Structure 1
Amino acid sequence: MRRILLGLCFLSFLNSASGQEIPLPESMPQAHPRVLTTPEGKQETWNLIKTEEWAKDVFDKLRERTEKYTDLTATRPDWLLSRLAMYWKSHATEVYIKGETFDHAGGEKAPYPTVRYTGTRGTAATHGRPRLADIVPYDDDDNGNVTFCNNALPDRPMESVHPSKTGRNIESLNCEILGIARDAAFLYWMTEEEKFAKLAAGVFDTYMTGIYYRNVPVDLNHGHQQTLVGLTSFEVIHEDALHIAVPLYDFLYDYLKANYPQKMEIYAGAFKKWADNIIANGVPHNNWDLLQARFIMNVGLVLEDNKAYADGKGREYYIDYVMNRSSIRQWSLTRLAEYGFDSKTGIWAECPGYSSVVINDYANFVNQFDNNLRYDLVKAMPVLSKAVATTPQYLFPNRMICGFGDTHPGYLNTNFFVRMIQNAQANGKKEQEDYFTALLKCLNPGAGNEKAEKKNVRVSVNSFFEDKPLTLNPEVQAGKIEEYVSPLFHAPNVSWLVQRNGMDPRSSLMISQNGSEGNHMHANGISMELYGKGYVLGPDAGIGLFLYSGLDYAEYYSQFPSHNTVCVDGISSYPVMKSNHSFELLSCFPASAEPGGEFTSVTYSNLYFREPESRADQTRMMSIVTTAPETGYYVDVFRSRKEKGGDKMHDYFYHNLGQTLTLTAADGTDLNLQPTEELAFAGAHLYAYSYLYDKKVAATGKDVKATFTIDMKDKGGDDISMNLWMKGEPDREVFTALSPMTEGLSRTPGMPYNIKEQPTLTFVARQHGEAWNRPFVAVYEPSTRKEPSAIQAVSYFDAEETALTDFAGICVKSKNGRTDHIFSLSDATQTATYQGMKVKADYAVISNRYAGDNRTLFMGNGTQLIAPGVSIRTSVPANVLLEQKQGKWYILSSAFCTVVIGGKKMKVEAAQKTKRCISCP
């Protein structure tokens, strides 16, 4: 509890702090290197090599592989540099593209060879790179072709081909050669052996001179691509050669200044041209901005002071651009943070996969500012600590992140926790250090164990400098995951809401719901993911095989039918990627709050969404009802209708993991499902419908039950099922189908079967006409063979008030003797009555007395609940949870309420955070 309180105080401080302009350091180091390390770092590196086996191994392997090329250049000095992809003959200064494809090069002839431009924006290629030894030296024919390998023919013969057929292999080739030169520059800095300097300088001089004399590509289509192109790549965020050229120059600086003094201005000019183009192009409002900022920052660090250049653009200019200045396509770190981070929640305005990348990029900037500029970026931008501290909210109980939008769910990156600890240690911030140390130890128990972390270190120059050994305070114990997540959490800037009843990987339940607000989002209405028995059983579909540039993404993975949502008239859609279609939170319990709150036996949310294509109103009420320490179920009531009527149909989609799906009437009788070609593009519907196959249908008004099963024979035989009960309605059809594989989980380790090779099991309920007065009313319960369903039966009831045409009533009988009557109303000012129970609320759960003296009553956004022997009344709409446990009554209430139990009236003050006993002496 003490850690929770400290954490809340820490987060409260972060909320109250304000941003400010980041001042430049008064003085900066003048010697080189200064990006990956400092001149003093040479001795530190030698000490590391002498004392650490991994460091000696990396150094020896680095030297061995580089000396292969110094040996070759001993007899032919141009052996390596001649294999650079350059315009060796034409010296072309201009490059012309058509959209995402290279067209031709030309313009005036430069005094030196210029750098060849890559083939396409995407990676698809008919022709691949030859081995470096097989590259034709000075390869540049009169047609501007390159000599690459034909991937379609046996033995991949080499042939002259237009660059547009080679994908990104041209830039890849140049990066490989530059990488060899960078390694040689590092070895020269370490050993002072001139053979390494000569190899590195020849490549660097040739390439950077070629950059200096080559201009930014021109898009002949005059399209959006013109605002994205870099000097070597179709995207400024993929100027990978620049990341290599900076440390190459940094390690080789003194040698170049002594041996190429007349070229130093050209090298600096090339770097500045590169950085200026990255400032001019790109995307300012998402993760691109940070990737671009990293390039600009590195250029700034490696250049000399402003006064060293005639144009006054040197180190301070570019570093200040990253810190404080903004152009139309490149925002400062402060402006981007103000735009993208929600100051209240700390959530970044993109899907979880991209948000994690952005937060990690910011955290790495924190580390770079500490190391290179001796400046505390967290102090200047306190929202960064808030954002890092909030990332556990993305976690399901199995510790994997939510999958909405363009996300590949995985385990949470813990590097940003390390960066916050390092920042705290560098700047003497003990409270911050303790908080993130406990969090890091919680999610990565092996953190700080250098022996465990230094196995299989990659053979790279960066391995010596990127991370100094992390020392964690041994007195700080690992936190508990429950301290870092909230029972209910709402992030409006990404239209996302989470409900949890705990964080036990096996028994806890969690719902993740999302709309489409922010970047890298899909067209999905009010979508949801459901968790159970160690897995996200009802997952989001993912991005697709070719990410967001693929046809499967455009037609299926980003569209309504791939999500667990309701599609109207077969046409529901809106712009994906940067989307502005959020849901509205009408009511919820518990309140969205800081982490560490008390988990409750009932949670719920009521969301509203306007589907723009069909002009339909949709609400989704979802709830978790916990019936015992290890059992519980989900409730889903989805209402949908078009604003002006004329509803053709509303399709409720649910996708679940597994290999088998059975669909029967709720009483177990056969529905006589028949093959069908419905659920199709035919009829002017979305293309996404055509991605469904093996479709079977039954027209029925019966209540139905679907069971999705994961065969766990390879993991102990404890098969996992998701049980779905749905209320029947007139004019309804129910379908089973197969959908494309759940691509989002296809890379996830430890899955119970090969996700990539298994189509996704899909249930669809189609309501002809409106689905408001005939809503989709469902109960979900995960179970396993060893932990069978705890539900005995699910049935439905109508309110006694005949005017309540859109009322939903559910009766859930559990095997432990508990019976829950669930009330769902679309208008909380109306009253619903059933068998002596009366509810005036959005949502209510009324259980009987069971297992001795246990009972649960819940009123959501209401003013009245009457049940046998108990009543609750409030003067304003409120959430009230009243529970009887072993004969004692406990309450949580968002407002003052009057409770009557067994004829005894009690006045209860509001208390939302901790349950109070109202029957205790």
Structure 2
Amino acid sequence: MTSLYSTKLLATERPLIWLTAKEKPIVLKKIETEQWAKERFLALKKRADDFVPTSVDERVENIKRLPLSWQEKTNKFPAFIVQKNVGNNELRNPLQLSLQAAIDCGVMYALIGEDKYAHCAADILYTVVQGLNSTEIGIQPVHLNNRGWIIPKNHLLESRIYAAQIPLIYDFVYNYLKKGGKVYDAHQNKFTVFDFSAAQHVFTTYAQLALDSGLIDNNWPILESSSLVHNALAIDDEHLRQHYLEHYLTLDTAHQDSLAKVAKNYVKAGDIWPESLGYAMHVGYFSLYLMNLIDRIEPSLQLGNKYPNISSALLTYEQLRFPNGDYPAFGDSHRSHQDNYFEYELAYKSAVLNNNKALIAKFASRLKQLIKTGQYDRSTLLPRHTSAKPYFAPLALLWPETDLGEQKIDTPLNVYNTVHIPFAGLFIQRNLSSDDPVKNSLMATIGGGSYVHGHASGIDMELYGQGHVLGLESGKGGYPTNVHQNYNRLFAGHNTVISNGASASKGGWLQLATNPVEKVVMEPEINANPISDKYSFITTRFYDEYNLVKPAYHQRTTAVIRLSDQLGYYLDIFRARSEVENQYHDYLYRNLGDSLDVATDGQTIKFHSDKNRFQPFDPSMIDKWTHDRNFVHPGWHFLKNVNTSSKTAKTLTATFTAHKFLNSPVMMQSTIVAGLELALSTAIAPKIKSEDPPYNKHEIPMMVLRHEGDAWLNPFVLTFESYQGVEQPAIQSTSRLMHNDVFKGVKVVSKVGISNVTQYILIQENSSQHYENKELGISFIGSFGIITLKNNKLTDLYIGSGTQLSFRDSLLKVESTSSSAYKTY
């Protein structure tokens, strides 16, 4: 491969990592001519000035904030106080924030050249280097080989919050120190020269720790890579520096993956890192950052062109959002993620460095749109932080390109009606409304798969309504906790079906592997234009292979149906069967809110207390489960206040009500369509930590529908419709369409304004099946179709998958090259 250090200039001249001699005049010109850059510069200067000491006493005060053993009376420089696994904030925060302040000062010294900035940065650097050289690195084995220095059992954390920052300070003040600039030794209470050999030991040690610590084939190596690359670039020995940089670029170890290996997960434009979303975002962000860093120094490597799909992943994140900006909470993920628009600056920078015209156009347009709409203010300097990530705030001044070109703005960002994230088995259907889109848009997600930080969920579902994700999965809880291990990550923490009380996982990441959720048929296809702006659907399947009784088969059809710009609903059909005697299947659904009311024929149904209904398949596992290895399947023993109705085949109406939103009350009404005998249980599910306030601190109402026997030929059938305030639901009645005891669809009658809307939604197992209802005048060959009438007059026919659909005298046929069709009347 091309050597990063093919010229002596790059081997000897500093600063190098964030700012080169060639870049400095460009940055100064940017500050002089661009108002946003000037404001960022002044904010950074003020922040640095607030830290800069004006006396020896203040220099000592800055130094003594660092968590070293200052009270020990020895001839040796004080060692760092060793921190616990996640760090003690009283020890962690002063060190983390001091390193960030020293970086700010280092940047100002590099730009302005005033020694006062070098004083504060060099003092911190010297003290940290000396303290580390006095601190022993534990050599005993630690959990997951996560061996650090200051945090002996957590290099993963230490590499980001400490190790990645130290070489940056060195790089910025190197010239000051080389010309004899003095540092203050708070141990000996005197000025002294900097110890370069001690610093080189620190950089080499941290670079080697990155190669020797932690796990591979997950996000860890990428999170540790900023430390690896920064420390490598701070090493003065060219050959040693090259050794570590080549490990970042192409050479894997048993504990560290290279960029070349990481990039294999970005095969196609739009691919994202195969973990739950927070981890996926950080992997892309840190990789894009380091690609920019290296491409600036050695343009011949062209990392941005070699791995362009790492940049393209940013656009996929936008495709996942619910209409209110939240994200699907698949796996160990949060609902909300703070927008990081600096990522778009990095993507654009990478495209410019590599002269990638396609990506230049995409990201210039996106940046312009974000700036124009006020979502992104280039003049705002990000604050220092105590989060578990490196400090990049000054880069938002140093690296952004001034010229965003002549590319026009694509407004709004084009989001697709259907999106697929293959590794998670995640499928998105959205139907956006032009009338108050946050409130009136619809979006449903269906998914489930086996991946790092994934959950054992089967076919999961999330539903959006009235500006909120209402029907939801459990997301990320507290990792060490029992409830996260044995509820959030298991079937019971999801809107899914559990078969025979025994749906479970086996193998894979932490023994949480399941088969992936697979598409059977859908319309529109992924990233394709819909044939109708009113309808979409997807049918998926799941093989419950690791069920603790016997494997079960699941199939789910979920449709999004628009009635008007303001109204619409979801239809959910879930089939389940298992080849065992006395089989039974439970349909689970939880919805953000404070209460759940269930009625039939306008009367509240009666319940009886049923506290023993949802027990573990193996109750002994409650005492025997082991962290990250053995679980208490299926997880529903965490449900509280369980009450169960008598069996019934009547229509049931379940209404979830939320009173804590700003637009409360918000209701989600589910109609459980008559014709399948079941018992309905209500319960209180654990709170979902990853949700938006205020419901991240409140337990969640849920319902569980149990059918004893096969639920395949005659499945669970439910509608879901949200509304708020004094509004009323549009759906007035529902009923099954049956033929020889086989489910063929559902009739839904709705009230839209002054009109009565009747819809026959036809669902069959495959596209070759034929359903005929002479009484209604329906004939259908296909797996999904809709007939819609307004005031008893036909308005449209829709074939989502099939060959032909007729109603009375009207016929719709699918062209031979297609499997779907739509016609209005």
Normalising to structure 2: TM-score of the pair? 0.83
- Secondary structure of residue in 2 paired with 1:735: strand
> Does residue 246 of structure 1 match 2:167?
yes
Which one of the candidate residues 3, 6, 17 is aligned to 1:35? 17
- Match of 2:573? 637
3-state DSSP of counterpart to 2:520: strand
* Aligned: 1:550 with 2:536: no
In structure 2, distance between residues paired with 1:83 and 1:229: 16
* Partner Cα separation in structure 1 for residue 98 and residue 341 of structure 2: 33
Distance 1:472 1:199 in 2: 34
SS at match of 1:299: helix
Correspondence for 2:670 among 719, 724, 730: 724
Report matched runs for 1:220-259 at 5 Å.
224-227=143-146, 229=148, 232-239=151-158, 240-257=161-178
User: How big is the shift at 1:855?
Assistant: 1.5
Q: 1:228 to 1:704 in 2, by over 3 A?
A: farther
User: 2:188: which partner in 1?
Assistant: none
2:589 alignment partner in structure 1? 654
Question: How far 1:515 moved relative to its partner?
Answer: 0.5
* Counterpart-to-counterpart distance in 2, 1:833 and 1:853: 18
1:103 aligned residue: none
Matched with 2:653 is 705
Match of 2:498 among 529, 542, 567: 567
Matching residue of 2:268: 343
Choose the corresponding residue for 2:83, options 99, 107, 118.
118
Q: Indicate the residue corresponding to 2:516 in structure 1.
A: 582
Alpha-carbon distance in structure 2 between the residues aligned to 1:70 and 1:463: 28
Local SS of the residue matching 1:623 = strand
Equivalent residue in structure 1 for 2:782, among 824, 833, 841: 841
CA shift, 1:704, in A, is: 0.6
Say yes or no: does 1:536 pair with 2:469.
yes
Tell me which of 755, 768, 779 is aligned to 2:719: 779
Task: Tell me which moved more, 826-835 or 621-630.
Answer: 826-835
Task: Specify whether residues 422 and 704 from structure 1 end up closer, same or farther in structure 2 by C-alpha distance, changes over 3 A only.
Answer: same
Residues 647 and 288 from structure 1, CA distance in 2 versus in 1: closer, same or farther, beyond 3 angstroms? farther
Whether contact under 8 Å (2:304, 2:351) holds in the other structure is no
Q: Aligned partners of 1:672, 1:599: CA distance in 2, in Å? A: 42
Instruction: State the distance in 2 between where 1:714 and 1:47 align.
Output: 47
Q: Using the TM superposition, give the Cα deviation of residue 191 of structure 1 relative to its aligned residue in structure 2, in angstroms.
A: 7.4
Q: Match of 2:560, as an amino acid?
A: I
RMSD value over aligned CA atoms? 3.7
CA gap 1:89/1:610 in 2 versus in 1, 3 angstroms: farther
Corresponding residue of 1:466: 396
Alignment-derived partner of residue 18 in structure 1: none
Partner secondary structure for residue 240 of structure 2: coil
User: Is the 1:85–1:173 contact (alpha carbons within 8 Å) kept by the matching residues of 2?
Assistant: no
Give the total of aligned pairs: 771
Q: 1:587 to 1:369 in 2, by over 3 A?
A: same
Between the aligned partners of 1:786 and 1:182, the Cα distance in structure 2 is 56
Paired residues of 2:689 and 2:697 also in contact (CA < 8 A): no
Q: Does 1:788 align with 2:753?
A: no
**Distance verdict in 2 for CA 1:682–1:35, change over 3 Å:** closer
Aligned to 2:4: 24
Match of 1:603 in 2: 536
State the Cα deviation string for residues 848-882 of structure 1 (Å, max 9, x = none). 4658662123252x345343223456798963222
Cα drift, residue 734 of structure 1: 0.4
SS at match of 2:819: strand
- Percent of residue pairs identical: 22
Partner SS state of residue 756, structure 2: coil
Q: Which of the residues 547, 550, 561 maps onto 1:625?
A: 561
Please, which runs of 5 or more residues in structure 2 have no aligned partner? 181-191, 620-632
* Cα offsets for 1:715-748 (capped at 9, x unmatched): 4x6x33212111245652102222222322235x
Give 2:57's aligned residue. Answer: 71
Equivalent residue number for residue 265 of structure 1: 197
Matched-pair contact (CA < 8 Å) for 1:407–1:744: yes
Is the Cα–Cα contact under 8 Å of residues 554 and 576 in structure 2 kept in the other structure? Answer: yes
| 1:80 match | 64
Aligned pairs (5 A) from 1:426-575: 426-442=353-369, 445-446=372-373, 453-454=379-380, 463-468=393-398, 471=402, 473=404, 476-481=407-412, 484-502=414-432, 504-544=437-477, 546=478, 548-574=479-505
CA shift, 1:619, in A, is 0.8
Q: Is the 8 A contact 1:679 1:689 kept in 2?
A: no
With over 3 angstroms needed to count, the CA separation of the structure-2 counterparts of 1:232 and 1:69, relative to structure 1, is farther
Amino acid at match of 1:508: S
Greater shift in the superposed pair: 784-793 or 682-691: 682-691
Residues in 1 aligned to 2:121 and 2:27: alpha-carbon distance in whole angstroms:
20
| SS of match in other structure, 2:334 | coil
C-alpha change, 1:24 and 1:859, in structure 2 (3 Å) is same
Which stretch shows the higher mean deviation, 386-395 or 674-683? 674-683
| C-alpha deviation, 1:525, in angstroms | 0.8
Deviates more, 1:779-788 or 1:790-799: 779-788
Contact 1:849 1:855 in 2 (8 A): no
Q: What per-residue deviation string (whole Å, max 9, x for no partner) do you get for residues 346-371 of structure 1?
A: 23212222222222223323432344
Question: Equivalents in 1 of 2:152, 2:39: separation in Å?
Answer: 38
Distance in 1 of aligned mates of 2:63 and 2:750 = 77
Give the letter for the 1:820 counterpart: Q
Report if the CA contact (8 A) 2:786-2:798 is conserved. Answer: yes
CA distance in 2, matches of 1:179, 1:472: 29
Aligned to 1:134: none
CA distance in 2, matches of 1:440, 1:334: 28
C-alpha contact 2:449 2:514 (8 A) present in aligned 1: yes
Distance in structure 2 (CA, Å) of the matches to 1:361 and 1:598? 40
Q: How much has 1:823 moved relative to structure 2? A: 2.5
**Cα distance, 1:778 vs structure 2:** 0.8
SS state at 1:320 partner: helix
Deviation at 1:591, TM superposition (A): 1.4
The Cα shift of 1:439 comes to 3.0
Check conservation: 2:97, 2:384, Cα contact below 8 A.
Answer: no
**Residue 421 in structure 1 maps to residue 353 in structure 2:** no
Deviation, structure 1 residue 664: 0.8
Partner of 2:525 in structure 1?
591
- Given the superposition, is the C-alpha separation of residues 477 and 662 from structure 1 closer, same or farther in structure 2, using an over 3 Å criterion? farther
- Counterparts of 1:659-674 in structure 2 under 5 Å? 659-665=594-600, 667-674=601-608
Q: Which runs of 5+ in 1 are unaligned?
A: 1-20, 92-110, 124-166, 307-311, 748-753, 888-921
Distance in 2 separating the partners of 1:188 and 1:609:
60
Superposed CA offset, 1:262-289 (max 9, x none): 9423422321121111112223323222
Task: Tell me the SS of whatever aligns to 2:484.
Answer: helix
Give the whole-Å Cα distance in 2 for the aligned partners of 1:56 and 1:827: 65
Change in CA separation of 1:592 and 1:459 when aligned onto 2, cut-off 3 Å: closer
Q: How far 1:618 moved relative to its partner?
A: 0.9
Relative distance call for 1:304 and 1:243 in structure 2 (3 A) is same
The residue matched to 1:554 in structure 2 has which SS? helix
From 667, 673, 687, the equivalent of 1:741 is: 687
The secondary structure found in structure 1 opposite 2:446 is: strand
Q: Which of 387, 396, 405 matches 2:313?
A: 387
SS of alignment partner, residue 645 of structure 1:
coil
What is the aligned partner in structure 1 of residue 292 from structure 2? 367
Residue aligning to 1:750: none
Checking the alignment, whether the CA contact within 8 Å between 2:559 and 2:572 is kept in structure 1 is yes
Partner of 1:7: none
In 2, Cα distance between equivalents of 1:661 and 1:262: 68
> Are 2:744 and 2:762, in contact at CA under 8 Å, matched by a contact in 1?
yes
Point out the more displaced range, 669-678 or 470-479.
Answer: 470-479
Q: How far apart are the structure 2 equivalents of 1:448 and 1:840?
A: 49
**Could you tell me how far apart the structure 1 residues matched to 2:149 and 2:82 are?**
10
**Contact residue 171 and residue 233 of structure 1 kept, 8 A:** no
Q: Is the 8 A contact 1:647 1:770 kept in 2?
A: no
The Cα shift of 1:636 comes to 0.8
